[in-house]
Chains A and B, each alone.
Chain A
Amino acid sequence: MTVPITDKTPRRLEINKAGGKMVADYWERIFTARERGEKVVWYNGSAVNPIFQAAGLAWCHGEAFSARLAAQHLEVPAQLAGQEYGYVGELCSYARTHLGCAVLSQKRASGAGQTGGWQGSASATGTGVIGLPEQEELASRLPTPDFFVNAYAGCSTGQQWDDISFRVFGKQVPVFNVSMPYMWSNRPGEGYMVGEEWETSSRYVRDQLRELITFIEEMTGRPFDWDAYRQNMAHIKRASELRREAMALCRLTPTPATFWDWIANVAHINFLPASQELVDFFAAVKAEISHRVAEGVGALPSERYRVYFDGFMNWNKLGFLAKKFASHDVAVVAGRYNEHAFWQEPQLIDVEDPLLGQAQNHLLCPMNHATKTIEQLVLRDCENYNVDGIVFHSTRTCRAFTNPQRLVARAAQKKLGLSSMFFEGDIADASFYKDEILESRLAAMLEGIDVRRARVGDPR
Chain B
Amino acid sequence: MSGDFESALGTLSRVADDPDAYVVEWKRRTGRKVVGAFPMNFPAEIAHAAGLLPVLIQENREPDSIGRNLLAEFYCGYTRNLADSAAKGTFDIYDGFFQADHCIQLLGAVDVIRAEVPQAPVYFGQLPPSLGDGWSLGEARRTMGSFVEEMGRFAGTDVTDDALRATITLFNENRRLLRGLFASRRAGDAALTATQLQVLVKSSMVMDKREHTALLRQVVAGLAAVPRDDRIRLHLSGHMCHAPKPELLAAIEECGVVVVDDDLFTGSRYISTDVAEDLEPVEALARWYLQRDAASPCPTRVKHETDWEDHLLDAVEASGAEGVIVLMVRFCEPHMLYYPELRKRLNERGVPHLLIETEHEGLPVETVQTRVEAMLERIRRTRNQTTTLEVPA
Contacts and interface: CB of A to CB of B under 8 A. Distances in A.
Interface in A287-314: none
Contact of B102 (A171, A182, A207, A407): A182
B104 A400 contact: yes
Interface stretch (B42-50, B133-141, B188-196, B220-228): B133-141
Interface string B58-92: 00000000000111101100000000000000000
A286 B63 CA distance: 53
A87 interface: yes
A85 B340 contact: yes
Interface string A134-162: 00000000000000000000111101111
A65 interface: no
Nearest to A207: B135
Interface stretch (A67-75, A88-96, A330-338): A88-96
B5 interface: no
Interface string B108-133: 10011011000000011010111001
Contacts of B104: 154-157, 367, 399-400, 403
A150 to B, nearest CB: 8
A186 interface: yes
Contacts of B344: 86
A34 B120 CA distance: 57
Contacts of B337: 87, 91, 95, 157, 160-161, 164
Contact of A406 (B72, B107, B299): B72
B19 to A, nearest CB: 26
Interface string B159-170: 000000000000
A92 B335 CA distance: 12
B334 interface: yes
Contacts of A157: 104, 333-334, 337
A164 B336 CA distance: 11
B331 interface: yes
B331 A90 contact: yes
Contacts of A167: 341
Nearest to B342: A86
B102 A399 contact: no
Interface residue tally on B, bucketed by range = 35 or more
A178 B102 CA distance: 15
Nearest to A396: B74
Contacts of B303: 163
Contacts of A31: none
Which interface class (under 10, 10 to 19, 20 to 34, 35 or more) fits A?
35 or more
Contacts of B105: 156, 399, 403
Contact of B124 (A155, A186, A208): A186
A437 to B, nearest CB: 13
B300 interface: yes
Contacts of B72: 394, 399, 402, 405-406
A401 to B, nearest CB: 9
B302 interface: yes
A179 B128 contact: yes
Contacts of A186: 123-124, 150
A222 B236 CA distance: 49
A26 interface: no
A164 B72 CA distance: 26
Given A87-B340, A167-B341, A92 B130 contact: no
A83 B114 CA distance: 37
A179 B336 contact: no
A90 B115 contact: no
A80 to B, nearest CB: 14
B343 interface: yes
A91 B336 contact: yes
A164 B115 CA distance: 35
A166 interface: yes
Contacts of B133: 177, 179
Nearest to A185: B124
A171 B107 contact: no
Interface string A199-218: 00000100110010000000
Contacts of A403: 104-105, 107-108, 111
A257 B263 CA distance: 54
A88 B123 contact: no
Interface string A158-200: 0111111011000100010101011010100000000000000
Contacts of A91: 333, 336-337
B85 to A, nearest CB: 16
A211 B302 CA distance: 18
Contacts of B71: 406
Q: What are the nearest 6 A-B pairs in CB distance?
A: A86-B340, A91-B336, A371-B111, A403-B108, A156-B104, A184-B124
Given A163-B304, A407-B70, 19 more contacts: A85-B340, A86-B339, A87-B337, A90-B74, A91-B333, A91-B337, A156-B102, A159-B130, A161-B337, A177-B133, A179-B128, A179-B133, A204-B139, A399-B72, A399-B75, A399-B333, A403-B105, A404-B108, A404-B111
11 contacts: A87-B337, A90-B331, A92-B333, A159-B129, A161-B337, A177-B302, A179-B133, A184-B107, A211-B135, A372-B111, A399-B333
